[in-house]
Amino acid sequence: MNFWGDEQLSFFETILFSALGQPVEVIETQFLSGGDINTAAQVFSSEGVFFIKWNHAERQDMFETEARGLDLLRQTDALYIPQVVGYGQQSDKSYLILEYIDPGTPNRTYWENLGQSLALIHSHTQAKFGLSFANYIGSLPQSNSLTTNGIDFFFEQRLLPQAGMALYKGLLSKSVYDALFRLRNHLPSILPNERPALLHGDLWSGNVIVTENGGPALIDPAVYFGYREADLAFTRLFGGFAEAFYEAYDEAFPLEDGFNERVSIYNLYPLLVHVNLFGSGYVSGVERVLKQF
């Protein structure tokens, strides 16, 4: 079944030709969810099956930075990461082509494997917090300027830009912004003193998929080197993962005491991202965290 007309099929064939270097015939397509800003499809072709997503976004480097993030995660050899086939611009569209991963059913050790694999990813470190390139969280720019101090990085490149954007948009009150600004002085006594860890950066259940053999795979990263607890905290923002995941992680890479009390601090960042992406309905969550501290 082909969901799109001839123009869209020609788009698929053109970008596949560009990525593979040979003519490709599209045989069948299937519409898939592409999130809030992208359109996505499963594309069956003469050269195999591919996952393709595209958008009309003005930020033409969005898919390039996603591809680079996937490559960084794949280099850890920790768990399955889809291969990047190609990315670029064609006509008025930006696109990303990945191998298509056939979905499966979680196997008996799925959550344990995910916890151990994330611990292995987090064991990869570098001298400074940040990354050698900027990228995106959702459709929002994410600054990753290399920073020696983790607290400076977390506050100045995670919390402050999102809070400033929300204030500018009229989504966040000046009093809430000021309260968040005062939080900076408390962070040294709250956050652990750890080396930067390679993070997925957008680790919620929608970005973890089950492969055909029942194991975990990661997609849609917003990678950087930061506090590893931020990834784990993100998993709890929308309900949390199975307890076996957290137990396996902690056994492989033990957390400092008090992590549960720090979760809400780390999640100020994704909450502020959601304020800027989806509106003021998420402001109350930000206010609740600030009242705690």
Is there a contact between 79 and 187 (Cβ–Cβ < 8 Å)?
no
Q: Which are the contacts of 133, defined by CB distance < 8 A and separation ≥ 6?
A: 65, 68, 144
Query: Which residues are bridge partners to 87 per DSSP?
Result: 96
What amino acid is encoded at 263 in this protein? V
DSSP β-ladder status, 208-210 and 135-137: unpaired
Helix (H) or strand (E) holding 87, with range, is strand 84-90
Cα separation, 17 vs 25, in Å, equals: 9
State the catalytic residues.
Answer: 202
Packing angle of the helix pair 228-235, 243-252 (nearest 10 deg): 170
Query: What region, left, alpha or beta, does residue 170 occupy, with left being phi > 0 and alpha being psi -120 to 50 degrees?
Result: left
Is there a contact between 62 and 136 (Cβ–Cβ < 8 Å)?
yes
The residue whose two tokens read 């053999």 is 213
CA separation, residue 61 to residues 1, 55, 182 (Å) = 31, 12, 34
